Amino acid sequence: MSDKDIRVALVHLGCARNLIDSETILGRLGARGYRLTRDLEEADVAVLNTCSFIGPARDESEAAIRDLLARKEAGRLRGVVVAGCLAEKFRAEVEERFPAVDALIGLSDYSNIARVVESVLRGRKVRPGDGGRPLDGSSLETIRLLQTPRSYAYLRPSHGCDHDCAFCIIPAIRGRQRSKPPEAVAAEAEALTAQGVREIVLVAEDTTGYGADLGPGGPRLPELVETLAEVPGLRWLRVMYAYPNAFPWRLTEVMRERSAVLPYLDIPIQHIATPVLARMRRGGSSDSVRRLLQRLRDEVPGIALRTTVLVGHPGEGEREFAELLDFLAEFRFERLGAFAFSPEAGTPAGEDPDRCPPEQAQERLAAVMELQAGIHAEHQRSLVGSELDCLIDGRAGAAAVGRGPADAPEVDGVVRIPDPERRLAAGDFVRVQVTAAAGYDLEAEAIRTVPAP
């Protein structure tokens, strides 16, 4: 059986950064002639791209491994390849628990993934490092088979993280920060827009840390964003995963002056109580976080701020949690996500017994999300009657489904637009008038399409 007859299915788990890895795996396999399928029932080999950021993510990854190995044992798969964060950080444990896995390849540029699949099919041993070269600032990600609608794509300007948050194992998985040269990031952006992508979403472990490793006087995030805003065909540029400390304030000037740069920022604060921030090793204080957020609103009028908070962390007592709830009710983030603390072995917080029971952490999580649901509903209702531009991502029956400037893909809401004649398609921009708020989403009527500038 030749490569062109082998069908490979990829199972993706994890975040947007992990999705770039999955798209790279698919691109490399497709370039080598393997037939790609979304249906495991059709596949000869399955490649699982895992996540291991927190305990529940590892549980999900291990459940997926068990499912794939059961298919292999039943003769429905010839091989199982496990890639990604779980294989990178917990290789020994995976080998011990799942000896029937044919290859564990961890994180890399996946330039040799096709060779790995070939080795699996021929029964040859796959050694650590066989998947490809380690990711560094020279690792360009242009050979990708996009799994997003043609309207948007993710772009990673750097790998790794230099922060040592007490609860996080990402630096232990993905290493310290390695920034790509700005011209390389721009080349990746141009390759995406050449495929019809209209919105690029910048994602990294620490987006605002971009360039810190490129030397004194080198380009930082504001300069990179300015460069990307000039990429032909790009209509929207969105910044995600900004770290609050040492914020590059020239970015707000770029947001105001460059029409392609959306007035939107994802900036996870994790908490507001100073004692908890100290235990998290986040740096800063309640006062500094408050000043930062208010300055963002002052300097970028109309900005939509998304944040993430972590509840149940060691050091969060009833008083600290009440302070967090009071702040969220006061500041009223336009968008918010929340997580309950998951103790990670090998991290300072994971070994700290000074924390609430898991059941109480879940109760606190529910309280945060209930509060934010009301805040979000109020934000959405305030938009009824207003006009905004929407980027269409796809369809749901007789409606086109898009997003406004305040909504990042996958994590925020959508705008549903009646379109029974199917005049709108992914990648189109349309001016709409909001007619109703529907939970986290909006309903709207199309006014006119928005031509390219």
Q: Which CATH number among 3.30.70.20, 3.40.50.620, 1.10.940.10, 2.40.50.140 corresponds to the domain 387-449?
A: 2.40.50.140
Query: Which one, of 259, 146, 125, lies nearest residue 196 by Cα?
Result: 146
Helix and strand counts by DSSP (H, E) for the chain: 13, 18
Helix (H, G, I), strand (E, B) or coil at 351: coil
0.85 cut: is pTM over it? yes
Helix (H, G, I), strand (E, B) or coil at 186: helix
Which residues 6+ apart lie within 8 Å of 67 measured at CB?
none
Query: Which one, of 86, 118, 122, lies nearest residue 104 by Cα?
Result: 86
User: What residue segments make up the domains of the chain, in order of their start?
Assistant: 3-122, 152-382, 387-449
Where do runs of H (alpha helix) occur along 268-421? 274-280, 286-299, 318-331, 358-382
- The hierarchical CATH code for the domain 152-382 is 3.80.30.20
Helix (H, G, I), strand (E, B) or coil at 444: strand
What is the pLDDT tens value at each position of the chain, 453 positions in all?
455 689 999 999 988 888 999 999 999 999 999 999 999 999 999 999 998 877 888 889 999 999 999 999 999 999 999 999 988 888 989 999 999 999 999 889 899 999 999 999 998 888 888 888 887 777 778 889 999 999 999 999 999 999 989 999 888 888 899 999 999 999 999 999 999 999 999 999 999 999 999 888 889 999 999 999 999 999 999 999 999 988 999 999 999 999 999 999 999 999 999 999 999 999 889 999 999 999 999 999 999 999 999 999 999 999 999 999 999 999 999 999 999 998 888 889 988 889 999 999 999 999 999 999 999 999 999 999 999 999 999 999 999 999 999 999 999 999 999 999 999 999 999 999 999 999 899 999 999 888 876
Strand extents, DSSP E, 27-176:
35-37, 45-50, 79-84, 103-106, 152-155, 158-159
Query: Which one, of 283, 282, 285, lies nearest residue 272 by Cα?
Result: 285
Query: Which one, of 106, 37, 113, lies nearest residue 77 by Cα?
Result: 37
Q: In CATH, what is the architecture of 3-122?
A: 3-Layer(aba) Sandwich (3.40)
Query: Which one, of 231, 243, 238, lies nearest residue 207 by Cα?
Result: 243
